[in-house]
Structures are given as C-alpha cells and as structure tokens.
Amino acid sequence: MNTADQYLKAIYLVQRMENGPASTGALADRLDVSPASVNEMIGKLQDRGLADHEKYKGVSLTDEGIEQAREALQTYCIIERFLHNVLEVEEFPSEAKALESVIDETVAERLDTIIDREPQCPDCFDAEADMCAELVGEGEAD
C-alpha cells in the first residue's frame, strides 16, 4: 500500500470517528507524522481530486477518495486478519502497520483467498481500536 493510500485510510477513519472533516492534528497523531507532512500530502490528494481541504475545518474525502480509502482499508484488514488467523501473530495490529507499505492490493487479494472475511468488510472495521472488528479484544491497539 503506498503512502497516499495510507493517508486516505487514516482520513476516512478519522472522518468516521469525528463525524465530520478530519483535522490535521488528528491525522498527524494517527499516522505519527508531523502536521507539516500531513499538510503536504493533503495538498497532493487535493490535486488528484481525492480530498477537499477547508481551512480551520479539516479535510474531507471526495467520492473517489472514499472509494480508494475503502479499498486501502480492506487491504489493511486482510493483512491484519492474515497475520492473526494464518501466521498467528500476537501483535498483529502493530505488525500490520509495519508491513502495509510493502503489501500490494493484488498480493492482499491472494492472501484473502485463505482467510474468512466478513462480507460487510470494511464497514465493520473498528476505527477507535484501529483493527478489524472481528479481532477486537485479541490484539493490543497502538
């Protein structure tokens, strides 16, 4: 998953939690990067028609951005579930975050063929716990 997709996923989840635009600070906290880095990436996402940034309010995803964010979230959910269910990794949330930049969507789709994922994925993703809702209680959130 590339960096832009990681940002889209974070914006999508923060928007869902805050029920409105995602603030730069909340995104910086969630991604553990500087607010300057967040602003830079938001500018790029805006240029690509994936997000809208309104001063003092925050960033919202466009329809296209939402679609891409949901795909990224689904890829991430597959990685978490694969680490947990197949490789039996205890600290799967932190390991999934460490590996997500190396795992492409097509690779995740292949891994998806050997895990049982809920049809409502990624709607059931737990944004607060930052992990697949099916796995909440089994892994330590960051």
Partner 1 sequence: MTVNDRVSTDNQLARLLQIGIVLEEVVEVRAARHYETLSADERDADVEELLDEAREESADHRRRLEALIDQLDAEAVPLEEIQRLVEARYAQTGPEGFDGILYDQLHGEETAYKFYDDLIEAIEASDTDYALDREELLATLKAIREEEADGVEEVTKFMERRA
- Residues near partner 1 (CB under 8 A) are 3, 6-7, 31-33, 82-83, 86-89, 94-95, 97-99, 101-104, 106-107, 109-111, 113-114, 142
Contacts 24+ apart (CB under 8 A), 29-33: 30/130, 31/6, 31/7
Residue whose CB is less far from partner 1, 63 or 102: 102
Structural tokens at position 126: 């737990």
CA distance 99 to 103: 7
Closer CB to partner 1, 54 or 87, in the complex: 87
Dihedral of the CA atoms 135, 139, 141, 142 (nearest 10)?
-140
Least distance CB 135 / partner 1 (angstroms): 16
Q: CB 80 → partner 1: shortest distance, Å?
A: 12
Q: Nearer Cβ to partner 1, position 52 or 95?
A: 95
List the Cα angle 91/97/100 in 5-degree steps: 125
Closer by beta carbon to partner 1, 53 or else 97: 97
**Cβ 101 to partner 1 shortest distance, Å:** 5
Structure tokens of 135? 């796995």
Structure tokens at 139: 């892994």
Q: C-beta of 139: minimal distance to partner 1 in Å?
A: 14
